[in-house]
Chain A
Amino acid sequence: MEVDRKDGRTANQLRPLTCSRNVLNRAHGSVSWSQGETKVLAAVYGPNAGTKKNENPEKACFEVIWKPKTGHVGKAEKEYEMILKRTVQSICVLNVHPNTTTSIIIQVVNDDGALLPCALNALCVALVDAGIPLKHLAVAICCCLADSGDILLDPSKLEEQIMKAYVYLIFPNSTLSVLPEESLKVIGEPMEHGLIASSTHGVMSVDDYIGCLERGRAATAKLSDFLRRRLQSQFQIDPSKLG
């Protein structure tokens, strides 16, 4: 099905991704991530001593602060903070640094659609940059459903507003094992087929939603590759700089 998108992309094509690590001096980990025109700056400070009230002191605590580009912090920002916090809690190893608080700050530089997925991708790279122990990474993608029933990936803000419905999906990063046998041996469903988080806007049929899940999953393989390449190349350069 040929779909006419304003910027000439195909239905399955993601916007150009750029990622620069270690952009901020004071932060322990930072990244500037952009998908097309949507740009997000993520910084990680931590682990700092002490947990907040009502948090379990035997585990590491995470707090996410979301700063919109303009305006006051409202309910939408609180919702994003909660989704990101719970996702981070599920991907990080919480037992390594008990009784500590890690702060993650997300600053929206420009919002041109698919803001939450962009922020989550930035957040993962920032966590790696800061050296926070993680079980696996998470990749996020936005799928939208047109009135004709076509599923488009990574919409811009204009596309999000005219579409019937859109979904933000967060999947775990695909596993790449050193031992080739491990990759083949899969019990039950492979881990990357799981869904960490999902947030939908608009009405769609259940089958359309499952279709979005499938498309999103397939596309996250590309994102995972991009992340891996980005994170690997940095490590190869650094040792030579240390001399």
Chain B
Amino acid sequence: MAAANDSSDLSSEMEVDAFRRVVQTYICILAAGAVASADGSALAKIGSTTMLAAIKMEVMTPTVECPDEGSIAIEFHMPPICSPLVRPRPADVASVISKQLSDTILSSGMIDIKELCLVGGKAAWMAYLDIYCLDADGALFDAALLSAVAAFSHLNIPVVSLNDDGQIVLVSEDTVQLKLEKEPVNKEKRKLKLNSLPFSLTCILNKNYILADPTAEEESIMETVVTVVLDSSYQLVSLYKPGGPVLGHTSGIQDCVALARHRVKELQNVLNEAISDMEID
């Protein structure tokens, strides 16, 4: 391709290439207890990339500095099943994505950790979010974030009550029938209130083109990757470009953000459909 073209031609080509890719990607979420034993779970598939997210809630004592806050621990695993390039030793990519995910989820303000408090100063929820990559075919962060958001949307906080020793105990389904000694501590708060949900789009930058939502083959050829995370009010939660030979100019970055906006709308629809399917069950 010639270096000096009409900028208008190139930008229209850029749009067409990028949109084609975004439209052709098949997204499907199967929420609703993909993992029956977890308190919240979701299986997200974008193209071939498959992620399974599961949340387990445990009661813990909050720290002295923040007595009315719970906490969330996010871990991303890449077991060898996901890709021939991953061996049993934890891949470096997994640690980086894990850190990126926890930064994004905690700084996006999706979850107010004060809501995870049960009894101020004595008991609070600790949510363990584990995301397993089952099939790594590019754009791992996007699928992982989507599955995490879906899992939190599906999360059912277990009912607990205070027993005589002042300990929080889980109220199992059978004892609900019998008379309870104490009222459950959180009978009304079974679902977590989520503020603006973050959604992300990964793009590859080439000198003249932007490819949205790359597969693993495309990612292996081009080294420059940009991940844009927007929340439902189109605020920028994260713009992550971890170095690469192609430089990001303002126009390129704004194109990526525009593509991300489209993606946010699509993903919101898919998530809402999945949640409403789940509620019907």
Contact A206 B240 (CB under 8 A): no
Closest chain B CB from A206 CB (angstroms): 5
| B92–A82 touching, CB < 8 Å | yes
Assembled-state Cα–Cα distance A82/B85 (Å): 18
Interface 9-residue window, one of A19-27, A84-92, A104-112, A229-237: A84-92
Contact of A202 among B3, B85, B107 (CB under 8 A): B107
Complex Cα spacing A165 to B257, Å: 18
B190: chain A residues at CB < 8 Å are: none
Q: Which of A188-210 contact B (CB under 8 A)?
A: 189, 191, 193-206, 208-210
CB distance from B208 to the nearest CB of A (A): 10
Q: Which of A87, A203, A210, A213 contacts B235 (CB 8 A)?
A: A203
Contacts of A187 in B (CB 8 A): 3-4
Closest residue to B107 on the A side, CB-wise?
Answer: A202
Q: Which of A10-18, A43-51, A72-80 contacts B (4 or more CB under 8 A)?
A: A72-80
Whether A193 and B235, one on each chain, are in contact in the complex, defined by CB atoms closer than 8 angstroms, is: no
**Closest chain A CB from B110 CB (angstroms):** 10
- Give 1 or 0 for each of A163-175: 1 = CB within 8 Å of chain B CB: 0010100101000
B231 at the interface (CB under 8 A from A): yes
Task: Flag whether A83 is at the interface (Cβ < 8 A).
Answer: yes
| Cβ contact within 8 Å between A172 and B247 | yes
Min distance, Cβ A92 to any Cβ of chain B, angstroms: 10
The answer to whether B247 and A194 have CB atoms under 8 Å apart is yes
Give the residues in chain B near A172, CB-CB below 8 Å. 247
Contact A196 B100 (CB under 8 A): no
Q: Does B103 contact A (CB under 8 A)?
A: yes
Cβ contact within 8 Å between B250 and A75: no
> Complex formed: what's the CA distance from A206 to B240 in Å?
13
